[in-house]
Structure 1
Amino acid sequence: MTKLEISIPPLKGRKRLLDKQDYAPWVRAGDGLNDCMLFWMPVSGFPIRAQEKAWVTEFLGRLSSRLKDDFELRCEIFFRYKQITEELGDAYRSYSLQCMKLTGMGRYADADIPPTPTHAQIKEQVESGKEIDFREWVADFLIWFMTKQPERQRELFLGHGGMLTLFLPTDPKTAPPKTPFTPALRASMPIFQKMDVDGIIAGAFATRDAFLEKSKALFGTDLETRPEYPGIPFVLPMLESGHFFIATEELRTKWFSLFDLYINESIKDKGILLAFQKEQYEDVLLDVLESMRDDGFVYRVE
């Protein structure tokens, strides 16, 4: 009898069925999202506790490194202007002098730019005796940290309910030229000890980033008639978990045409959201989580 040889092709991806604990502390959204993966991680509150911040900081650092090495994705960090509380005020003002930044707009669904309050409205608020929160009268501005210092930015601003992190493909137009500053020159000039000169130069070239105009075309077309529109450099969606479920597949695909991964601190969801469409990023996520467990990192919500 002729011997029958059976060739089994190698399995693609992981060789075992995944358990929900493989994603822990992230919780994957269940039914209703077949075209993208959405994860939620609970927090004790905003600002988050020190132990939670240490874990998230380590996670984002490892995730950023893998995405850069494997897929040439870059990390861009934004912060909601309305979340610059009294507690953060001094740190923000001090850091603002050391980096380049650009203020654009964040939008919850199709939220409009709030109209400027009239004199009568202001008078009514004052006479009512109620506390006036001027943040209700301004748009949800987003501050983009153009200077690439993710570790420092996470140290200062992570966990306050306002950080948005996007991972995007690299844009060759933003690469700064090689500078003529020799080590001797850097050592002799105090400016190099006081400021991140290379970071500032890189930040200046970041203004050529293609995502700026593309974001306005995707998320700001209905704002074109507003007088503020020409001065808004970018428009980004401020997504909560509910937005993913009520959006159509076509709309979700539109979101991910701008960025590859989306990580947002969501006060309404009482946690952090992580979302992506491409399946290969799931392997990266699982590898990063496994490496952190192996190295003794444990996430606890107190």
Structure 2
Amino acid sequence: MTDDELVRRLPRLHVFGRVTPADKLRLADVMQRGGAIVAMTGDAVNDAAALKKADIGVAMGSGSEVTKQAGKLILTDDNFGTLITAIRLGRSVYDRILAYIRYQMSKLFSLVLLFLVASIFDINDGVALSPLMVVFQHFFITLFPVIVIMQDPSPPGLMDKPPRDPTQPIANRKAFVQWFAYGVLQFAVTLAAMLLAPGSMSPTEPNVPMTTAFVVLSLGSILAGLTMRRDPESGLSPPILGALKILSIPLVVTVLSVELGFMQELLQTTSLTGGQWLACLGWSLIIPVVVEGEEAIRRRRRDARAPGVAARIAVAPRRART
């Protein structure tokens, strides 16, 4: 059988008998040239070459030392079901890394744009927030949404997703556009709240507009952490109680930083009225509403384009045709 004929028949073939080490190596090579991600399991010395060639070589814990050295993954319990657990764990960790980068990059873009626009258009002499406000944001506000992202349990349907493209880096063009768009959203909301707040601005004296910008950015960062912890799944889907408990801490810290006297002196903030607090909350809610709406649109497009293949089908290929 030629390689071209083998490529055509591979989608209908699931069991190969009496294969030699050279046959195993050839199968792995042909499938890779066809664009497939190849996983190979083995326990004997004659499996080592194919294990080395495969994208994911899985060696049995009871196998030979040569096989273990050639493989990238060792099943210490010799249980193929452990592979599903490993894939689920890997996907969960990867999603959390993406969520962390997405959250931090969007926050970074929002701050850069805020100070850049304030400097270009001479808004409050180029001082959108005091330096201590920015430092306070990073150490006492942003920290808690990051904890929520890192502790977020795996969302339902994690194993129904199709495999990601291994050649696509984390910082790809699509991801960069998303980070920038979320950053522009947070920047626009914060700047609008600052410009429309009552009172005059001052780069050196506490004032309502700059305090409003600080509060809106803080509340927006808290809510953004809640909604950006999953993508494109909704960040408001359960379990959510644990995340809300953690995010209540920076919420209280934000209120205290505006209303306590010594915090006002430290951060150059001033007390806000009840109406001004409600206005800040209203501005901040724009961020999760837009993010959740954008994620809902992408989920609808994804579901309409191609449903995922469940893990139980992936490990039993014949079921995919029933």
TM-score (norm 1): 0.24
- Structure with bigger strand share is 1
The structure number with the bigger radius of gyration is 2
- Structure with bigger helix share is 2
- Considering Cα pairs closer than 8 Å and 6+ residues apart, tell me whether 1 or 2 has the greater RCO: 1
